[in-house]
Structure 1
Amino acid sequence: MRVLQLGNDNWEKKYTIPEDMEWHFNDFSFEEKKATKKKGIKSYDVILVTGKTNLTNDQLKKLKQLISPYHVLYSSNLNTELDDHEKYFLKSIAAQKIKEEPQYLIDRLPIRYFSGQSGLRIFPSQLKLNEHIVNSYEFEEQGHLKVNLDTHNEWVNLGTYKSGVFIDPDKQINFWLSLKNFNFQVRLRIFIQQPGTDGDVKEQRVIDLSSFDKDEYFSQIEASDHYRTTTLNLEVKGSGDLSIGVLHSRWGRDGAGNFIAGGQRIVNPQNRDDIAYYFNPGDLKPPLNVYFSGAREAEGFEAYFLFKGL
């Protein structure tokens, strides 16, 4: 990960920098010349603006080409120190205010601003039902399973998903379940298998899916330096009808965005289906280009690099 810090106080001399993080302090001009000789200017994963940059307008324009929107972070007390060109740079790149202590922020950069995106759908047809507790069930279509049952005010295992989830090293996992529910409490029990073990699962998480917050995922599995696999059980408590939708498993970014940094969601509170959207400010001038992603198996922003290039 390449990080560029612009300001007066070099964080590299005050805080611990991860070994795999390439830290640059106020050396944008040097890096530009050095990289040009190698036939291509290297981009940055994150830019931290902690003080006045002292860069010219032309330099800021070149710098903007080396960083993605929402990957620039700036200290919240800078507004009075920056000139108009610097303020425009921060606005046009959708820079985000720093709200955390420097060391904590540095440690979280790798799990927030990595390259790539990943998301998959686990359809309710993959749920192996515990038919002994279900009065009746029907697939309304591939994306929804309607069940009728009475748990007699006890938690019961409604079923196990046939498809487990692979957790990549150094990646958080967010789970989101679409469902229509009025009479049930719902929770997800996640059995986590460590690599090289004998199959004895010692780690598990129980995630409450009954509450609703459109801005948060119900579950976030923290990142680890090794891969893991999971088995998922769906547990319910209540009586009546319950419509179960798609279970989504997505790489998380620790609050920096959905799928990619800056990605956001619109959530339907009735069935918790969601739509992801992303705004690239570009040069903040017309025309506004709007692109609707095509249907595909993987979840994420289709054609992201194509439109970023515009």
Structure 2
Amino acid sequence: MPQKDTRVTVLQIGEQNWFSKGETENFRWSFVHSADTELDAETLLPGFLFDAIIITGQLSFGRYLQLNKFLSAYRIFLVEQQSGPILKMLRSKQYIDASQWPKQRLLALISENFYMKQMGTKMDMRVVKPVLNEQSTAKQFGNSHWEFNLVQDDHDPNMIMWSDLRLVSTYDFDMWMEFEKTSNLQMELEITHISAPTSKILYTERLSEKDLKQGVMIHKTDEWQYLAFKLVLHGSGVLNLGNFHFRKTRHEFGTMLPGGERLIDAQRKELFVYFDSGNLKPPLNIYFAGYRTNEGFEGYPMMKNLQHPFILVSDPRLEGGEFYLSDQQELEGQLVDYIKRKLAWLKFKEDDLNLLGLSMGTTGALYYATLLPARNVIIGKPLINLEYVATAGRNQRPDDFLTAYDLVEDLKADTLARPLITADDLKNPSTNFYIIYMDQDDYDNTAMQLLLDNLGPDVKIVQKGFEGRHNDNTGRVVEWFLIYINEILERW
């Protein structure tokens, strides 16, 4: 079976091809002439998305319009300065000025940071190994977090270790630890580097609490190494220790995707957000990712191909996500502010907005319709009764989707018990709902009826049902999801 080509795909637009043969060790290289008037059908495949675009020649307005669909935001390197109108349009795509960079520096930077696949994982809570003195206690809350009540003993210090080892070699990665603690407790993280070929301990580095608060980067190495982690605790107090995240870094160019950002609350929990200005025409589409055990964004090619501005939202909390909810609502407030800022930047009206989601993402789309005056909500396979998802799972899926139990543990009862959405809660009473659902949904078979009951007869609801359980016919659900979206965009 042939190996998948993981090289970075680059489109160069200019007068002289930097790699005339089109193939290099690190890149799949494509070239189009900046002055041509035709599109190369073999080079520019419809819907193909390049990892990076390098502009080394002057573009005419007509040529820019021809190539515009291939010019993805945050991925354009401008080597040759452009005329005012072209520069203004490239500015909306957040181009990177590379006019003063040596060619080799630019290529090295693209190779290191503009790779195709997102990589993000977290440590399983079951590999946390507390080593505590007799006065201190530990309690595990599923795969959500640990709570430690620690008492200082100079002769028997408290430590927390992880039995899982991280393997590193060819790339830098970011570490992010979720924690909340009392001020009289200090901590230090020890990372022991172990040679993978020989199992020899190479060295141990120590990171202060200040380092951990800022986030830590682990740099690539010349040989494969395992990393072992130990958290050393000083003083007495309470520590809530959440997930320990590891993400392949793009350095200063974004989180998970080029241009990706993080929203962070006081507990160091996060949401990922990504904004693309698209064609600068209304509406702004907000897509909430579904359940993802690997951290990162979802739906980028789908939203990109719709051409309109969009925001991707992803939830890296718990295992696969925390359904975009929290008790403190700090992250919710940050996300609402982020969306409002992008609407203002685009100079759109406040209701030039669609909220979209599939499966877990439907919870986000529905809930944020109570916080934002969306014109439309388009969802597939809705999950709205999260307490029911957990309790029903004990009988219907006892070994599946354990995140639902963590959700019940992590959120307060009144947060889970309150209706996710009602007609009275809608920020825009004229919001329209387009819902694709499964008739025998084994995650939440109450969702469709609850939505009909809670929204009532005065709210427009268009629905499409399919036979089967939650994951039996995802292809058809996505097909109708896109049918509804495209119909709405055509009428806008």
**Which of 229, 247, 252 pairs up with 2:249?**
252
The amino acid that maps onto 1:288 is L
Alignment TM-score, normalising by the size of structure 2: 0.52
Q: Higher helix share goes to which structure?
A: 2
Does structure 1 retain, via aligned residues, the 8 Å contact 2:119–2:295?
yes
Q: Residue 23 and residue 176 in structure 1: after superposition, are their counterparts in 2 closer, same or farther (change >3 A)?
A: same
In the TM superposition, 1:88-237 aligns within 5 A as 88=89, 90-98=90-98, 101-102=101-102, 103-132=104-133, 135-151=136-152, 156=157, 158-167=159-168, 169-181=169-181, 182-195=183-196, 197-210=197-210, 218-224=215-221, 227-237=224-234
**Which of 66, 69, 75 pairs up with 1:71?**
75
Does structure 2 retain, via aligned residues, the 8 Å contact 1:189–1:207?
yes
Shift of 1:120: 1.1
Task: Show the counterpart of 1:271.
Answer: 267
Q: Residue 100 and residue 165 in structure 1: after superposition, are their counterparts in 2 closer, same or farther (change >3 A)?
A: farther
Looking at structure 1, the residues matched to 253 and 199 of structure 2 have their Cα atoms a distance apart, in angstroms, of: 34
Does structure 1 retain, via aligned residues, the 8 Å contact 2:189–2:229?
yes
Alignment TM-score, normalising by the size of structure 1: 0.78
Higher gyration radius (CA): 2
Q: Residue 295 and residue 199 in structure 1: after superposition, are their counterparts in 2 closer, same or farther (change >3 A)?
A: same
Residues 18-66 of structure 1 show CA distances to partners (whole Å, capped at 9, x for unaligned) of 8534677873567x76x5247837764323446xx42222322333333
Does structure 2 retain, via aligned residues, the 8 Å contact 1:123–1:143?
no
**Runs of 5+ in structure 1 lacking a partner?**
none
Looking at structure 1, the residues matched to 199 and 221 of structure 2 have their Cα atoms a distance apart, in angstroms, of: 19
Q: Residue 110 and residue 130 in structure 1: after superposition, are their counterparts in 2 closer, same or farther (change >3 A)?
A: same
3-state secondary structure, aligned to 2:302:
helix
Looking at structure 1, the residues matched to 223 and 256 of structure 2 have their Cα atoms a distance apart, in angstroms, of: 21
Looking at structure 2, the residues matched to 265 and 114 of structure 1 have their Cα atoms a distance apart, in angstroms, of: 19
The amino acid that maps onto 1:177 is M
The amino acid that maps onto 1:279 is F
Does structure 2 retain, via aligned residues, the 8 Å contact 1:251–1:259?
yes
Looking at structure 2, the residues matched to 39 and 246 of structure 1 have their Cα atoms a distance apart, in angstroms, of: 42
Looking at structure 2, the residues matched to 83 and 299 of structure 1 have their Cα atoms a distance apart, in angstroms, of: 39
Looking at structure 2, the residues matched to 246 and 271 of structure 1 have their Cα atoms a distance apart, in angstroms, of: 11
**Which of 262, 279, 283 pairs up with 1:283?**
279
Shift of 1:245: 0.8
Shift of 1:283: 0.6
Q: How many residues align?
A: 292
Shift of 1:69: 1.7
Provide runs of 4+ in structure 1 moved above 6 Å: 10-13, 22-26
Looking at structure 2, the residues matched to 192 and 305 of structure 1 have their Cα atoms a distance apart, in angstroms, of: 38
The amino acid that maps onto 1:257 is G
The amino acid that maps onto 1:265 is R
Give aligned-pair identity as a percent: 24
Task: Show the counterpart of 2:41.
Answer: 36
Higher relative contact order (CA 8 A, sep 6+): 1
Q: Residue 151 and residue 68 in structure 1: after superposition, are their counterparts in 2 closer, same or farther (change >3 A)?
A: farther
The amino acid that maps onto 1:59 is R
Shift of 1:267: 0.8
Shift of 1:285: 1.1
Task: Show the counterpart of 2:462.
Answer: none
Does structure 2 retain, via aligned residues, the 8 Å contact 1:118–1:298?
yes
3-state secondary structure, aligned to 1:308:
helix
Does structure 1 retain, via aligned residues, the 8 Å contact 2:132–2:158?
no
Q: Higher strand share goes to which structure?
A: 1
Shift of 1:211: 5.2
**Runs of 5+ in structure 2 lacking a partner?**
1-7, 307-492
